[in-house]
Amino acid sequence: MVGMHTPDAEMARLASKALLYSIDRIRVDPPPLGAPRPYEELLEAVGQTITKDGITGAEALRLFTEVLAPSSISVDHPKFLSFVPGAPTEASIIFDMVVSAASIYAGSWLEGAGAVFAENQALRWIADLADFPASAGGVFVSGGTAGNMSALLAGRHWWRSRNEGRHDHTRGLIMASKGAHSSVAQAARAMDADVLLVPADERGRLVGSALRATVDSMSQADRDRLFAIVATCGTTNLGVIDELSVVADVAQELNVWFHVDGAYGAAGLCAPSVRHKYIGIERADSFIVDPHKWLFGPYDSCALIYRNVHDGPRAHTQHAEYLDVLHSEVDETQPWLEMNPADMAHHLSRRARGLPLWFSLATHGTDAYADAVERTLKVTKQGAEEIRSRPYLELLLEPDLSILVFRRLGWTPEDYQRWSDKQLYSGESFIVPSSWNGETVLRFCIVNPRTRRQHLIEILDSLAPEES
């Protein structure tokens, strides 16, 4: 047989080159920052790569390493502090590569038992971080958007089941704070549900007083269709943690699903110095945390944990002739150990995307994770000091976790943008302007243990007024 499924010497050489490039890329510190180029420029440099006969792997690899990769920003650069950066460990990347090679379908126990078994040990560690009971279980999905929606779908299904048909066609309602991630509103939009926004406090947090005031002012109709409250531990813009205990109280009083979005921030659960800020998460019905953010894994992966593992499949199991073989009887009074990950969320085909975290955790141990998160928290505190020590800057709030939001005195939005562009296109740093109460500000999100105080000093110094 000839064709692209037959190994040959040329492919072997290509594989060696590609893997050497990969190893270099993992190890280089810092990696090149990279910067986007306009479409027309890329087309000029790259041309049409999809042809009848192929352009050879060597040429495709050259185009990637010389043009395309440098036109993409390295999220693991120590001065990439925009959005939420990434900082995968070498162990996690190496194992992501093993997963690429392994051709395992990790959606069912029947097909992927070994992979699922290991993923479940990593999920159990995460569940334990939140003090979840033995009944807990979950799945790694592609990202926070998928995780939040899958959790809310499970919540809606639970609510409707409890109401025995009365609410099967009722438009659902979710309460969340103004600091909630955009994916909560997006999930509601997809689900044809509504979001009732609770005003945040002056630090951007969902607190008990505002939540109770909103509940008190709800109409009975809205009360009847409320099925979930979403709290956030580590909001994306400000990195603050909602009052989880009070939210848990209210959710319990109202008998609605309590979901905690910890896509970025729940990683802090493993850091002793901030663990107390999360009290109340142990009462959630579900929560998420993204290993590709602050748990040092590669894209893309979100751990979704249900307090009761059976709440997932009740909402998400897909049925078909060709799938029936996967679904044996499950004793719902017991934790489900041979679960099908596909049944736990809104997905079916899936990569074993939890294995990179599993492997890195198994390799380094959980203490190393605590240390790495603590390190970023310490650098964040140092950054706050550095900001406070500069008269041209103003720290806008004390960090709960690892996000710093601050003002450059006297700057217009255009000044911020000009500075940000200059930093990016000179290869210095990637820090886009954000906003705070409608004002353009700067924001550092520090999840990379390779980000050091000195990096922050260099960035902050570049904001100084020019000497006249």
> Which residues, numbered 366-405, are part of the site for a copy of itself (CB under 8 A)?
366-369, 371-372, 375
With a CB cutoff of 8 Å and minimum separation 6, the contacts of 232 are 176, 177, 179, 180, 181, 206, 241, 242, 260, 261, 262, 265
The stretch among 244-252, 350-358, 383-391, 392-400 that binds a copy of itself (CB under 8 A) is: 350-358
Calculate Rg over the CA atoms of the chain: 24
Task: Annotate 117-170 with three-state secondary structure.
Answer: HHHHHHHHHHHHHCCCCCCCEEEEECCHHHHHHHHHHHHHHHHHHHCCCCCCCC
Burial, 110: exposed, middle or buried (Cβ in 10 Å; 0-12, 13-18, 19+)?
middle
Scan residues 5-44 and list those touching a copy of itself (CB under 8 A): 5, 7, 11, 14-15, 18-19, 21-23, 25-27, 29, 31, 34, 36-39, 42-43
Please identify, using beta-carbon distances, which residue of 276 and 319 lies nearer to a copy of itself: 319
Closest approach of a copy of itself to the CB of residue 12, in Å: 8
Scan residues 116-175 and list those touching a copy of itself (CB under 8 A): 117-118, 121-122, 124-125, 141-146, 149, 153, 169, 171-172
Please identify, using beta-carbon distances, which residue of 61 and 397 lies nearer to a copy of itself: 61
Please identify, using beta-carbon distances, which residue of 68 and 254 lies nearer to a copy of itself: 68
Closest approach of a copy of itself to the CB of residue 103, in Å: 4
Q: How many residues belong to the site for a copy of itself (CB under 8 A)? A: 159
Closest approach of a copy of itself to the CB of residue 406, in Å: 15
Scan residues 65-94 and list those touching a copy of itself (CB under 8 A): 67-76, 82-83, 86-91, 93-94
Closest approach of a copy of itself to the CB of residue 44, in Å: 11
Closest approach of a copy of itself to the CB of residue 64, in Å: 7
Ramachandran assignment for 255, one of left (phi > 0), alpha (psi -120 to 50 degrees), beta (any other):
left
Dihedral of CA 132/137/140/142: which sign?
Answer: negative
**Cβ distance 387 to 393 under 8 Å?**
yes
Please identify, using beta-carbon distances, which residue of 88 and 280 lies nearer to a copy of itself: 88
254 sits near a copy of itself (criterion: CB under 8 A): no
Scan residues 99-118 and list those touching a copy of itself (CB under 8 A): 100-106, 109-115, 117-118
Please identify, using beta-carbon distances, which residue of 102 and 279 lies nearer to a copy of itself: 102
Closest approach of a copy of itself to the CB of residue 467, in Å: 30
The stretch among 181-189, 271-279, 304-312, 454-462 that binds a copy of itself (CB under 8 A) is: 181-189
Please identify, using beta-carbon distances, which residue of 307 and 443 lies nearer to a copy of itself: 443
The set of long-range contacts for 414-423, using a CB threshold of 8 Å and a minimum separation of 24, is: 416/440, 416/441, 416/442, 419/462, 419/463, 423/459, 423/462
With a CB cutoff of 8 Å and minimum separation 6, the contacts of 138 are 123, 126, 127, 286, 303, 304, 305, 306, 309, 312, 344
Please identify, using beta-carbon distances, which residue of 214 and 376 lies nearer to a copy of itself: 376
**Cβ distance 345 to 286 under 8 Å?**
no
Closest approach of a copy of itself to the CB of residue 355, in Å: 8
The residue with tokens 């925009």 is 82
Specify the pairing of strand 286-289 against strand 393-395: unpaired
Choose which of 218, 254, 279, 362 interacts with a copy of itself (CB under 8 A).
Answer: 362
Please identify, using beta-carbon distances, which residue of 76 and 242 lies nearer to a copy of itself: 76
User: What DSSP string describes 178-230?
Assistant: TTS-HHHHHHHHHHT-EEEEEPP-TTS---HHHHHHHHHT--HHHHHHEEEEE
The whole-angstrom separation of Cα 166 and Cα 159 is 10
Scan residues 435-454 and list those touching a copy of itself (CB under 8 A): 435-436, 443, 448-450, 452
- 268-297 mask for a copy of itself (x: CB under 8 A)? ----------------------x-x---x-
The whole-angstrom separation of Cα 397 and Cα 405 is 7
